[in-house]
Structure 1
Amino acid sequence: MKRFILFILTIIASAPLFAQVANITQPEPIDWPVHKANIGKVVFLADTISLSRLKQADFLNRFEAKAQNNLYMKILMGNSLTNFQHQLQPGLTVEDLNKGNFQFSFYVDGKLVYQENLSKGANYPVTKNIKTTISVPLISNRGEDSWGRSLWVRFMYKGGEDALTTGEHSLKIEVRPYVDIPVLKVGVLIAQGELQFIVPPANAKDIAIQNIKPNSGWLVSGESFDKKKIMEMNGLIAQNRFKNITSVIVIRNGKLLIEEYFNGSGRDSLHNPRSVGKTFASAMMGIAIHDGFIKNESQTLSDFYDLKKFNNYSPRKENITLKSLLTMSSIFDADDNDSNSAGNEENMYPTDNWVKFALDLPVDSSKTAGKQWHYFTSGVVVLGDILNKSVPGGLEKYTDEKLFKPLGITIYQWQYTPQHVPSTAGGLQMRSLDYAKFGQLYKNGGIWNNKQIIPQSWVKQSFTRHLALPKDVVGEGFYGYLFWNKTYLVNNKPYETFYCSGNGGNKIFVFKDEPLVVIITATAYNTPYAHPQVDKMMQKYILPAVLK
């Protein structure tokens, strides 16, 4: 018995010593009364408020998720993050501790919905080392560049949207430190906060199916569809749960079934779908080959350029084919998904000659022609330049005569390269109903009004899975001739689609085995949710509504 008592006393005596590991950095002092009174709390605010002005009355207990309302989070801690991490793993240096960060846990109505170990880059080392308060926006209509907004978007996409349904909910956030050297280790709770989160119902007018007005240029479909599903989708767009959506168009059996506009957009609005415009370069290449202005897609760059006049000449450049540019599989040292890549498109735009930028790039010795997929915007610019110099009158006139006029597309707006050549990098602006014509043209095998506009053989090649997409970059799928490919699973049945895709969540979907073309336009540019939310719209609402 004495030995047991001695053991207990030893634990009690040693516990304070373990809890009182000396700080490894000097944290900022906790001077303000509101901080002292709320150590260990996550508090919610309607605006950015400094500690010197912050009052208890500023804390939100309720938040109504309306477009005009902002939600900010302030974490009031008793020490800096680095010192909390030091208690967790005392043997690590400050530099190694800085490779960890906060762990956030989101609870809705008492259920854990999402947990994330914040990436090490989300907070500067000096912030981790000394700050005892952290303030970030979660929901904001001011457009701040903040990891808080990105964290909230990930929470909403990965369970929050499904949990925060219309009505009133409790939202709780817990904060812990973590380190991942030598292994992942999560510390004790250092702050938490809770508030009532109200999701108001959408206005009945915003939910309602929009009537298709006359003079659309399309026959109007009389087929039925699940209007409840589309109304649910409209409600989520109205509630800003699906963000920055501007239009949804559905063509079934060649007729206009659904025509919906949002956020100030209308039938005559010109949309900027960014890289959706790349696919028009593919269409024009097929037409130009058919007309004999270009022999075939196996032609090489050496047929069009004296490559020795450009920087980083290599004999391997001579054999780069048009097909490899159409399939994003050339051997240029370029990858738009790698910010450190020499050929990243962001390095192209400031230059005064985008074609020269591309042809000046070195080749990548690790690449095999036609085998590795890397997104390469500058390569599509080269395709546009080749078309422009090969077809009579230049690319703009040729596209208008050979594609736009036959489709009845009269209102559009190109963007241009510094040499005033139509930019095939993207940005070709049109009305949503005209993008639908482009999609339906491919669905028809290249035929419009009984006339072959794009060769059927080219459509077939365009809708061929030439390369598998790297899963670590874009997920499941394949790539054709400047067309993407994926398969949606609805009610355990696969539906394969080839589609154009652009920054912001812009899409032209052409379904392989269904008489279906879907257009989605959006302005969610450079956001992490742009493409995932479109997938969710398609998977949960549009396809279930219109598939038979």
Structure 2
Amino acid sequence: MKHYILFILAITIASCSFAQTSNITQPESISLPVYKANVGRVVFLADTIAFERLKQTDLLSRFEAKAQNNLYMRLFIANSLTNYQHQLNPSLSVEDLNKGNFQFTFYVDGRQIYQENLNKGANLPATKNTKTTISAPLISNRDEASWGKGLWSRFTARGGDDALITGAHLLKIEVRPYISSPDLKVGEIIASGELQFIVPHADVKAVPIQSIKPNSGWQVSGEPFDQNKIMELNGLIAQNKLKDITSIVVIKNGKLLIEEYFNGSSRNSLHDPRSAGKTFASAMMGIAIHDGFIKSENQTLKDFYDLKKFNNYSPRKEAITLKSLLTMSSVFDGDDNDSDSPGNEENMYPTPDWAKFTLDLSVDSSKTGGKQWNYFTAGAMLLGDIINKSVPGGLEKYADEKLFKPLSITKYQWPYSPQHVPSTAGGLQMRSLDYAKFGQLYKNNGVWNDKQIIPASWVKQSFTKYLSLPKDVVGEGYYGYLFWNKTYTVNNKSYETFYCSGNGGNKIFVFTDEPLVVIVTATAYNRPYAHPQVDKMMQEYILPAVLK
């Protein structure tokens, strides 16, 4: 009787909220007893259970986070997602409403830890339009692809792991509808649920520090550091609590302090750092300008291409500067963080001519050159094409003579465009110790072995905070000439770094006020934990150890 009264109350409330605006789609009916008893709830299960066989006794109130245990959630909502979204803006079509999704908010012990507007591609339109109960795995040992597992990974990577320490916790999840067109708008809670989440004690076994073998090409440092911190870090990597890390190299005062390899990699392994390789385009641009093959970064595209031969010609396209490409602030209609953007890098790779793809793009009327930052791989690739056609012998020969040979880098592999031009979109493979040379070159203001390789003025320009990074995309920080910028805080002291960054968690850190260069390579490609776990490594282990 109690469950029936609750059900009638929930339906009455839903009916009142929908009194002024009718449904835009037909939701599935509410019929099974377990559904009627749990309208408006997020419930938790230990396994996949067919909805028609689901019983109240299957719902979990307690979960122990052991390796063998799975955790699933199921939403019971009084109407379909699309109809809830319809209340937020009744003028939108179903197609426009489907561009939104659910918003999830995670709390641990009453404190909000993470909030995410689920990507529009999670859940099919048919699910959004009709379903009133939706299931997804959060933690699963099965090889099953699901937006739920990705959502949980992002939650744990962005604060969840730090909050769910050993012991008992109250995990709470709230679900709201959101729409993204024409502006972001979030509705009221449509489902919520709580679960006692038990994290058992797990010993992290320290793993010994790897000895630095001879013939590294570096003078070995004798400076002390907190070896226990590094051994604890090694243990976390060995136990896969920090995932897919392949190497850590620390250079302090120009000498090799730490050299560690994991997951099958070694000193001679070539790592694919993805977009960390973009920064080499910036280095080569500075060298080419110094040598007079390119006049300055203020030159515009019309100096290098007959733009009227490409699609979507505009005088604004002719005014695009090399500097705006270096700072990812050009007016091209391109944004890698927007899957619908015409200039998204995923649209470039299948085409037979990447430079033509980029130059064919239209300009975005909402952008002002040099003012708005949008991550734009095609622009970084275009810089390489410009250098390639401007320097004698092409980019590959020029980079080898002007950068790699002076640094004694002999083992490396460029990726190539379809025209066999070295691709500065990313993916320049090298050994970790050689990435360290590149980082140390910038730390030395462009000098290596008493020879000026990159102009000191170019290093200074590269390490300038031209644009603030959007907090909702990448968090705090700034952007230079294909260099990222951020500040770590350790023991209430700030440590600023400019760094190269690539998919998977690949980093080349150059610290501005400390004699420190740190390399981290990893293969966590497209994993939500890739970058947050590197921040955790730097903040809690590497910096406290070497700056002690």
Higher mean alpha-carbon deviation, 136-145 vs 327-336, is at 136-145
How many angstroms apart in 1 are the aligned matches of 2:540 and 2:503?
22
Q: Residue type matched to 1:291 in 2?
A: D
Contact 1:28–1:130, Cα closer than 8 Å, also in 2: no
How many angstroms apart in 2 are the aligned matches of 1:485 and 1:357?
29
Task: Give the structure 2 partner of residue 516 of structure 1.
Answer: 516
Q: Deviations over 1:308-355 (max 9, x none)?
A: 111112223333222222122222222222222222212111111000
Task: Give the structure 2 partner of residue 150 of structure 1.
Answer: 150
The 3-state SS of whatever aligns with 2:405 is helix
The 3-state SS of whatever aligns with 1:482 is coil
Describe how 1:200-215 pairs up with structure 2 within 5 A.
200-205=202-207, 208-215=208-215
Cα offset, 1:238, TM superposition: 3.4
How many angstroms apart in 2 are the aligned matches of 1:71 and 1:365?
49
Shift in CA distance, 199/400, structure 1 to aligned 2, threshold 3 Å:
farther
* CA RMSD in angstroms, aligned pairs only: 3.9
| In the alignment, structure 1 residue 460 sits paired with structure 2 residue 460 | yes
Q: Deviations over 1:352-380 (max 9, x none)?
A: 10000111112233333323222221112
| In the alignment, structure 1 residue 186 sits paired with structure 2 residue 185 | no
| In the alignment, structure 1 residue 253 sits paired with structure 2 residue 228 | no
Cα offset, 1:245, TM superposition: 1.9
Task: Give the structure 2 partner of residue 170 of structure 1.
Answer: 168
Task: Give the structure 2 partner of residue 18 of structure 1.
Answer: 9
Contact 2:463–2:483, Cα closer than 8 Å, also in 1: yes
| In the alignment, structure 1 residue 71 sits paired with structure 2 residue 44 | no
Q: Which runs of 5+ in 2 are unaligned?
A: 16-22, 180-184
The 3-state SS of whatever aligns with 2:136 is strand
Describe how 1:151-300 pairs up with structure 2 within 5 A.
151-165=151-165, 167=166, 169-170=167-168, 173-174=171-172, 178=176, 184-186=187-189, 192-194=194-196, 196-198=198-200, 200-205=202-207, 208-300=208-300
Cα offset, 1:220, TM superposition: 1.2
How many angstroms apart in 1 are the aligned matches of 2:310 and 2:119?
41
Contact 2:158–2:532, Cα closer than 8 Å, also in 1: no
Contact 2:469–2:479, Cα closer than 8 Å, also in 1: yes
Cα offset, 1:100, TM superposition: 7.3
How many angstroms apart in 2 are the aligned matches of 1:29 and 1:126?
20
Contact 2:447–2:453, Cα closer than 8 Å, also in 1: yes
Shift in CA distance, 151/222, structure 1 to aligned 2, threshold 3 Å:
same
Contact 2:221–2:255, Cα closer than 8 Å, also in 1: yes
Q: Deviations over 1:42-79 (max 9, x none)?
A: 4443x65656898989989765554xx5633143x7x5
Contact 1:80–1:128, Cα closer than 8 Å, also in 2: no
Task: Give the structure 2 partner of residue 447 of structure 1.
Answer: 447
Task: Give the structure 2 partner of residue 354 of structure 1.
Answer: 354
The 3-state SS of whatever aligns with 1:231 is helix
The 3-state SS of whatever aligns with 2:358 is helix
Contact 1:27–1:80, Cα closer than 8 Å, also in 2: no
The 3-state SS of whatever aligns with 2:249 is strand
Q: Residue type matched to 1:334 in 2?
A: G
Aligned residue pairs total 521
Higher mean alpha-carbon deviation, 271-280 vs 121-130, is at 121-130
Q: TM-score, normalised by structure 2?
A: 0.82
How many angstroms apart in 1 are the aligned matches of 2:115 and 2:324?
39
Q: Deviations over 1:127-184 (max 9, x none)?
A: 467657643232346664423223322332344322333x5x3355445654679984
How many angstroms apart in 1 are the aligned matches of 2:470 and 2:443?
26
Shift in CA distance, 81/264, structure 1 to aligned 2, threshold 3 Å:
farther
How many angstroms apart in 2 are the aligned matches of 1:15 and 1:137?
27
How many angstroms apart in 1 are the aligned matches of 2:418 and 2:97?
47
Task: Give the structure 1 partner of residue 18 of structure 2.
Answer: none
Contact 1:161–1:241, Cα closer than 8 Å, also in 2: no
Q: Residue type matched to 2:520 in 1?
A: I
Cα offset, 1:416, TM superposition: 0.6
How many angstroms apart in 2 are the aligned matches of 1:296 and 1:115?
44
Higher mean alpha-carbon deviation, 458-467 vs 149-158, is at 149-158
How many angstroms apart in 2 are the aligned matches of 1:313 and 1:493?
50
Q: Residue type matched to 2:71 in 1?
A: Y
Cα offset, 1:90, TM superposition: 11
How many angstroms apart in 1 are the aligned matches of 2:228 and 2:133?
46
Q: Residue type matched to 1:185 in 2?
A: E
How many angstroms apart in 2 are the aligned matches of 1:363 and 1:102?
32
Whose Rg is larger? 1
Task: Give the structure 1 partner of residue 19 of structure 2.
Answer: none
Contact 2:88–2:187, Cα closer than 8 Å, also in 1: no
How many angstroms apart in 2 are the aligned matches of 1:395 and 1:369?
27
Q: Which runs of 5+ in 1 are unaligned?
A: 1-13
Higher mean alpha-carbon deviation, 17-26 vs 434-443, is at 17-26
Shift in CA distance, 124/499, structure 1 to aligned 2, threshold 3 Å:
same
How many angstroms apart in 2 are the aligned matches of 1:241 and 1:70?
17
Shift in CA distance, 477/59, structure 1 to aligned 2, threshold 3 Å:
closer
Describe how 1:371-382 pairs up with structure 2 within 5 A.
371-382=371-382
Shift in CA distance, 501/142, structure 1 to aligned 2, threshold 3 Å:
farther
Higher mean alpha-carbon deviation, 345-354 vs 463-472, is at 463-472
Q: Deviations over 1:434-471 (max 9, x none)?
A: 10010001111111112221122221221222333333
Q: Deviations over 1:383-424 (max 9, x none)?
A: 111211222222112211221122121111111101011100
Q: Residue type matched to 1:200 in 2?
A: A
Q: Residue type matched to 2:487 in 1?
A: T
Higher mean alpha-carbon deviation, 531-540 vs 347-356, is at 531-540
How many angstroms apart in 2 are the aligned matches of 1:478 and 1:283?
18
Shift in CA distance, 420/106, structure 1 to aligned 2, threshold 3 Å:
same
Contact 2:79–2:132, Cα closer than 8 Å, also in 1: no
Contact 1:276–1:501, Cα closer than 8 Å, also in 2: yes
Q: Residue type matched to 1:515 in 2?
A: P
Cα offset, 1:294, TM superposition: 2.1
The 3-state SS of whatever aligns with 1:211 is coil
Contact 2:171–2:197, Cα closer than 8 Å, also in 1: no
How many angstroms apart in 2 are the aligned matches of 1:130 and 1:470?
35
Contact 1:466–1:479, Cα closer than 8 Å, also in 2: yes
Q: Residue type matched to 1:282 in 2?
A: S
Q: Residue type matched to 1:312 in 2?
A: N
Shift in CA distance, 222/533, structure 1 to aligned 2, threshold 3 Å:
same
Describe how 1:59-138 pairs up with structure 2 within 5 A.
63=64, 65-66=66-67, 69=68, 71-75=70-74, 80-82=77-79, 101=102, 105-107=106-108, 114=113, 116=115, 119=118, 121=120, 122-124=122-124, 126-127=126-127, 134-138=134-138
Contact 1:81–1:177, Cα closer than 8 Å, also in 2: no
Contact 1:466–1:478, Cα closer than 8 Å, also in 2: yes
How many angstroms apart in 2 are the aligned matches of 1:445 and 1:314?
39
Contact 1:48–1:72, Cα closer than 8 Å, also in 2: no
